[in-house]
Chain A
Amino acid sequence: MTPPVDPTPPLLARWLLRLRPLGSRRAEVTADLAEAFAERADAEGLGRASRRYYRDVLSLWTANLSGRRLAADAVQDLSHGMRVFRRNPGAVAITVGGLSLAIAVSTSVFSLLNATILRPTGVSDPSTTVRVMRAVKDGIATNWLYADYVTLRENARMPLEASLADGARFTTAPASASDGRGEHGRMLQALDDATGAPPVVVASYGFWLRKLGADPTVVGRQIWLNGAAVTVIGVAERSFTGITDQPPAFWAPIVSYHALFSGTPLTRTSRVGVNVYGRIPPGASRAQAEAELGSVAAAVGTARADSGVTTGVRLDPAGSRLQSEGPALLLVVTLVLAVVGLLVLLACVNVANLQLASAISRSREIGVRLALGAPRARIIRQLVTESLALGLAAGAVALLMTIWLGPMLAAIVRLPVTVDMTPDVRVYLFLWMVSIAAGIGAGLAPARHGTRGDLLTPLKGDAPRAGSVRPNRMRARLIGVQAAASLVLLVMAALLTRATVNATRVDVGFDAQSLIAIAAPFNQERNTPAMQAFLAVALERVRAVPGVRSASMTLYSPYSGLTASRQLTRNGTPYVTALHETLADYFSTIGLRIVRGRGYSAEEVATRARVAVVSETLARDFWPDQDPVGQSLASIDGSSDVVIGVVSDAVTARLHSRSAAAVYRPMQGGAEPGEIIIRAAGAPEALVPALRDTLQRLGPATRLDITLIGASLQKEVEEPRILAGLSAALAAFALGLAIVGIYGVTAFVTGQRTREIGLRVAIGASRGDVMRLLLWDNLRPVAIGLAAGACIALLGSQVLAGILYGVGTRDPLAFGSAIGILLISAAAAVFVPARRASRVDPALVLRQS
């Protein structure tokens, strides 16, 4: 039989115990607590014993502290601190200034994040709100036919609602999709959505502010929208954005569709595309709701040309942006917070350096207090209290700065007016937490160091000369951290800037600038034979418009936000490629070269021949050593096409994925009408009025959207530019902090070493020797920090590369330039004080000592 083993106390509590300074009594106290724990574990069970152990350990921290004494100490420390600060107002101003700027910048960035992403959408009960996606054979589709939606709603147990968005203009969304609080009037209710109800709208706060003159009496008034009279029944509160992709200008019940879009009234058979939202019923899990709704959907689904039969549903969380956008957004948020954290860390390191310097010059004072019997913990507390006071002062200044910085940042990133940047509790909490953390963080290291040194040297009065190894090592570490953090920020900025440059000059494989797309808007009944016929005629008319070099048709135009894809299999694994269904002259219109074989002919399009043209990338991936022409391209659904040609690569969607794998095949003429693509001979803008005229004459009642494809491409490019601008500003700020920090520390250290340098010169060291020594001593930690920073930046760039187009994971230019800038700045920051020090007159120095 093995002897019973005494249970061990909980790990965390044992750590806490180890952290508590106990001096010579440690062994006895640890043994006492362990014994009490073992006894209780026997008598009362492990759980109770563990809880008591925690209490006992915590009581060691608190038993000797009385609130009053702590407060009295703090007051004493503060008044002492004030005297110290008054003696050195310059250093205090620099500390508070630098720290407050860092806190203000990080708080502004955080409040931007808070306003756009973290803040709830304003929808009540967001956790049960879901978007209903359509599961189809090859994946997931977002959009439902209104007719399908009606049948689905009638057969499902779960409450469902449809929304139909017209860009940022308005969303028809019934009761719960816009269920939130109103600033004035009321929000939509179920009765507004009843057939025959008078058309009403709820205005968004931004629309009310800009277009309705911020007039509270607007509620109940009739306004004209799109030629229809509607009654404004309410104004949503400012932060309310609803659950649809883009916050619209106003919300209207879906029954007012025909009034607002001047279309035909919706009927049970309307083939308008809608988005469907729902609420998971109380008591049901998401999986249950998904299964139940899925079986209903599979039974009612109409087959569609682009995505096939509905096989089920997927319920995506839609209640908050963070949830609905998924991990990519979370990654961006994490990244931004990491950058902000780095910035604050930099500022802290600067303050820590300053404090360290002051702790060294105060080592005499501290030495005296230690010699008189002050406990080290007491002195640490005093130094931390001082830096905490600095941190809080910086926080107060930062609070004022944020009032200016916040709106400035909003203007830089062109935040829509509906986004409410007013700081809320979260922002204030963030600000004070950062201030306190910065204060304590900046004070802790110097305080630990300041109380560690020997007692004798400072008392003898030559503290500055002491030159013990420890402070140098601590300072070197701080400088290293600073160099590393600055490098990470600089590399990020460089990568983003490069990405922007790449993106604006992106070679998408064709000239997008003079292309124009004409499409039926998605909020209209576009999937009808009538629309198809209309577009076919329109295509012929448009070809005859002067200034049109050529025109063709495709299912979705480039950068329209819509793509079709096709899943192939390569070596047994799924391979997703873009699918373009086009007319024969699409290649010549957008400007793709036929590299091998041929494109399909008009006859092949007319007969819907099973032929395909593939992009070079796809050809390379599938048939690296063979002639792709004549190969058969099997889709996962069993159908196959014969490859008749290869065209040059083009990136027509999602720039950051840079995927140029594509399959082109003749238009199949399904439900989707397709879009007209036009190559203009001259400036595309000039052609738009003529095109609009032609279409207007052809069908005055039909509304078609005309978009410049170059502009759509520009929009895709825009995103990284904003980010790049922001991060470049942050990086410049970080670089400034780093230079100031390195300069300050070097100046201090070389100042402290004046006597040593004088001695070296006196015994024959040349000025060059001294310079080399000082440069090497001070640049070494920078170099080590840079190496560490490079590793972190390498990891960070992997994350960035996943999000943004054109960001390389190992960009030598970005890394090289960032390291170069930092090294040069650091060398300059070291050089100036080092030169000053190397010019000391040895006789003067030696005489002084």
Chain B
Amino acid sequence: MKGERLGEFEEFTLLAVRALGDQTYAVPVQRYVEDATARPVSMGAIYAALARLEEKQFVQSSMGEATARRGGKPKRLFRVTPLGLKTARELHRVRARIWDAIAEAKRT
């Protein structure tokens, strides 16, 4: 399922993974998206978004090391793929172009 588009929530999730320095997992991602959007986000939504992103090959996951904090339980680590990064950048550029055009129209 290559080359699909990004939904709004998926975009936030993808960017959060990137911002957290790739090799992150669901709990920090949830916290990050909540802080960034200033609205409560459920864990189920994060899992669903990560699953869709992985299906679209925008992120990759691998099982990480266990930490003491989690009682020795494993965690799934996510990393943004080049394809994911490219798609997000493309989306950002499209938006910037439109905003520029709006600003242009106002000035004239």
Contact = CB atoms under 8 A, between A and B. Distances in A.
A39 B43 CA distance: 14
Contacts of A63: 42, 44-45, 47-48
A33 interface: yes
A70 to B, nearest CB: 15
Interface string B82-94: 0000000000000
Contacts of A30: 73
Contacts of B76: 25, 28
B48 to A, nearest CB: 4
Nearest to A43: B31
B73 A27 contact: yes
B74 A28 contact: yes
Contacts of B26: 32
Contacts of B40: 52, 55
A811 B31 CA distance: 67
Interface in A25-79: 25, 27-36, 38-39, 52, 55-56, 58-64
Nearest to B70: A31
B45 A59 contact: yes
A479 to B, nearest CB: 41
B48 A31 contact: no
A59 B42 CA distance: 6
A58 B76 CA distance: 21
B44 A36 contact: no
Contacts of B101: none
A28 B75 contact: yes
Interface in B13-57: 25-27, 30-31, 40, 42-45, 47-48
A30 B25 CA distance: 13
Contacts of B75: 28, 31-32
B71 interface: yes
Interface string A77-109: 000000000000000000000000000000000
A31 B43 contact: no
Nearest to A27: B73
B86 to A, nearest CB: 27
A35 B73 CA distance: 10
Contact of B44 (A35, A39, A61): A61
B25 A32 contact: yes
Contact of A35 (B45, B48, B63, B69): B69
Nearest to B51: A64
Given A28-B76, A63-B48, A35 B43 contact: no
13 contacts: A32-B26, A35-B70, A36-B30, A36-B43, A39-B27, A52-B40, A55-B42, A56-B44, A58-B42, A63-B42, A63-B44, A63-B48, A64-B44
Nearest to A52: B40
B25 to A, nearest CB: 7
A554 B70 CA distance: 83
A488 to B, nearest CB: 43
A32 B42 contact: no
Contacts of B45: 59, 63
